[in-house]
Structure 1
Amino acid sequence: MIYLVLSILISSSLYVIFKYFERFKVDTFQAIVVNYIVAFVIGYLYSPVKLPIAEIPNQSWFFGAFILGFLFITIFNLMALTSQRNGLSVASVSGRMAVVIPIIFGVFLYNESVTIIKVVGILLALIAVYLTSVKKSSDKIGKSSLFFPALLFLGSGAIDTLLKYTEVNHVSEENVSIFSASIFGIAFILGILYLIFQLITKNQKINTRNIIGGIALGIPNYFSIEFLIRALKIEGFDSAILFTINNVSIVLLSTIVGLFLFSEKLENRNWIGILLAVVSIVLITVV
């Protein structure tokens, strides 16, 4: 349980870091690319298995790590694009509501038991995520602009689903760190290729501020994935329940941090969402 709590706390801190990126005018994409190499180095050094880098492609979990690395960098860019075209609230809801995808796969692929009360809790959690995330009544999705939010929804769900599948079938306890590191390493390689393209075509420059931002992001980002994977390995803890608690708690904690640390204003439906989030967690974990 401690791994899940740590994953929630660290994942929530990432939103705070992104908020400060905006305040200190850090180029988010450049920082993200730096963050990936930082996360890879930490994971590689932290791993109890001292596997030569050249041997990583030969591991049974490498294909899953490669797809996840691709999804990490792709979904990040898609999130930015959705935010620009549809608004921050739409992007936030599309990504967080995707928790329903690994829940469904967990029930059908791994025969995870879900009681009626837990189903109610999961449904309340989805409603809570929506109500807590949407902060501007003016943010609406037009009929012709569903494409990017739909892709973001599917991509975010695919990350959690593939993470669970690869962890169950290919990743042993001692390989968690090197597996996590490999995901970030692959994301870095793909990200640096795209960054080089941007530097050439758009005449951009890399500055120290973006590198420092990437280092500050990379350390907690690595451990957020490390602890989530270790939480998924807890015996008797269904992934449907774990992903719901993880997702809703991050939304809840991030909202509270935004309220007190950045003086963000909440609408009545946001407060209702917070209340439903608490109720859903109680139903899923206690009842």
Structure 2
Amino acid sequence: MPFLLAAALCSVLVSVLLKLARRLDVDIGQAIAWNYVVAVAASTLAFAPAPATLRAATAAWPALLGLGLLLPTIFLALAGSVRHAGIVRSEVAQRLSLLISLLAAFALFGEPLSMAKGGGIAAGFAALVGLVWRPSASAGEMDAGAARWVYPLLVFIGFGVIDVLFKRVAQAGVPLGAALLAMFVLALLVSLVLQGWRLARGQARLGGRSLAAGLLLGMLNFGNILFYLRAHQALPGRPTLVFAGMNLGVVALGALAGMAVFRERLSRFNVAGLALAILAIALLARG
């Protein structure tokens, strides 16, 4: 359980750091690029993957390339979601993205659909609607209102597709350490291209704060992955407990951080969506 708590805490602290980025004058794009420098170094040290395993897994490269492109771009969407919709909605949208991977499991990977999973999927989509529902008070707030639901939806879809691609990589037989290193290297290259373009156009300047934030972001991001894997190793016969504990822990800690620390306000629809999200996670874990 300590590993689960540490993994959930790292996940929520990533959102807290993204929430504080503007106040601390941190360039999110640069921080994300530095984050992948840390992720590449940490993956190399922690897993010491053999390059030969990647050269042999030719079937996995389309999915790995997709992951390399999606990881940095969905990180930007997560930052936008935290900024416009808040930590609570963003964390729940990220957790509910498992609905996409479950639908893919039924449609693409031949997994049977149980009553509990069916109920969990239905509750999950209802929760998503409740969480992003935020009617604007006037026509002048239309753009801001749109950002509050567009970004969480992008997070929901993006992380769901990432999970499906990761399953494709696992099917190809690529060891976890080698897969993580390849994804992080590709994501770093994409991030460098994006930031190089911004620097060339004068849209950004290199800054020490962005470097420091990126290094911290990378440690938290990798810590989330590492502690989650350690939780599975510590509880090898209880994967459902690990899955449910991680998701419910992130939702609970995210709600606590968002509402208690940042004074995020939730409407009745949002609160109902949060309750449905917890129900959905419980049903999916049981199923």
Could you say which TM-score interval applies, normalised by the shorter chain? 0.7 to 0.9
Conserved 8 A contact 2:14-2:220: yes
What is the match of residue 14 of structure 2? 14
Closer, same or farther in 2 for the Cα pair 1:4/1:141, shift >3 Å? farther
Conserved 8 A contact 2:67-2:165: yes
Cα deviation, 1:46-93, whole Å, max 9, x if unaligned, reads 1143x35xx575141444323201111233445668899xx647x958
1:278 counterpart residue number: 278
Structure 1 residue 114 displacement after superposition:
3.0
Residue 45 (structure 1) aligns with:
45
Q: Match of 1:137?
A: 135
Provide structure 2 residue ranges, at least 5 long, that are not aligned to the other structure: none
Give, in whole Å, the separation in 2 of the partners of 1:280 and 1:3.
23
| Cα distance, 1:26–1:261 mapped onto 2, change above 3 Å | same
Instruction: Check 1:141–1:165 CA distance in 2 against 1; reply closer, same or farther (3 A cut).
Output: farther
Q: Deviations over 1:176-225 (max 9, x none)?
A: 22321221111111111221121111163211100000001001212334
Classify 1:104/1:229 alpha carbon distance in 2 versus 1 (closer, same or farther; 3 Å): farther
Q: 1:165 aligns with which of 163, 168, 172?
A: 168
- Quote the Cα distance in structure 1 between the aligned partners of 2:142 and 2:30: 30
Q: Deviations over 1:141-179 (max 9, x none)?
A: 89x99999887665443211101221233223xxx2232
2:85–2:151 Cα contact (<8 Å) kept: no
Change beyond 3 A, Cα 1:236–1:224? same
Q: Which residue of 2 aligns with 1:73?
A: 72
Do the aligned partners of residues 104 and 95 (structure 1) sit closer, same or farther apart at CA in structure 2, a change above 3 Å counting?
Answer: same
Cα distance in 2 for residues equivalent to 1:224 and 1:180: 13
Letter in 2 for 1:107: F
Asked if 2 retains the 8 angstrom alpha-carbon contact of 1:96 and 1:129, the reply is no
Q: Which whole-Å CA distance do the structure 1 matches of 2:128 and 2:253 have between them?
A: 12
**Shift in CA distance, 227/58, structure 1 to aligned 2, threshold 3 Å:** farther
Aligned to 1:192: 192
What's the counterpart of residue 27 of structure 2? 27
Alignment correspondent of 2:111: 112
TM score, norm. by length of structure 1? 0.75
Structure 2 distance, partners of 1:113, 1:214, is: 41
Question: Matches of 1:226 and 1:112 in 2, distance apart?
Answer: 27
Task: Assess if the C-alpha contact under 8 Å between 1:97 and 1:130 holds in 2.
Answer: no
Contact 2:34 2:211 in 1 (8 A): yes
Contact 2:19 2:82 in 1 (8 A): no
Aligned length: 273
Letter aligned with residue 162 of structure 1: L
Partner of residue 263, structure 1:
263
Partner of 2:55: 58
| Contact 2:169–2:179 (8 Å) recurs in 1 | no
1:101 partner SS: helix
Letter in 2 for 1:260: A
Q: Secondary structure at the match of 1:260?
A: helix
Query: d(CA) in 2 for partners of 1:181 and 1:257?
Result: 31
Root mean square deviation of aligned Cα: 3.9
SS of the equivalent of 2:21 reads: helix
Q: Which runs of 5+ in 1 are unaligned?
A: none
Whole-angstrom distance in 1 between the partners of 2:26 and 2:76: 16
How many angstroms does 1:95 deviate by?
6.2
Q: Out of 5-14 and 163-172, give the one that drifted further.
A: 5-14
Q: Is the 8 A contact 2:35 2:214 kept in 1?
A: yes
Percentage of matched positions with identical amino acids: 26
Q: 1:167 to 1:156 in 2, by over 3 A?
A: same
Distance in 2 of aligned mates of 1:123 and 1:40? 38
SS in structure 1 of the partner of residue 205 of structure 2:
coil
SS at match of 1:22: coil
Q: CA deviation at 1:129?
A: 3.5
> Shift of the alpha carbon at 1:281?
3.0
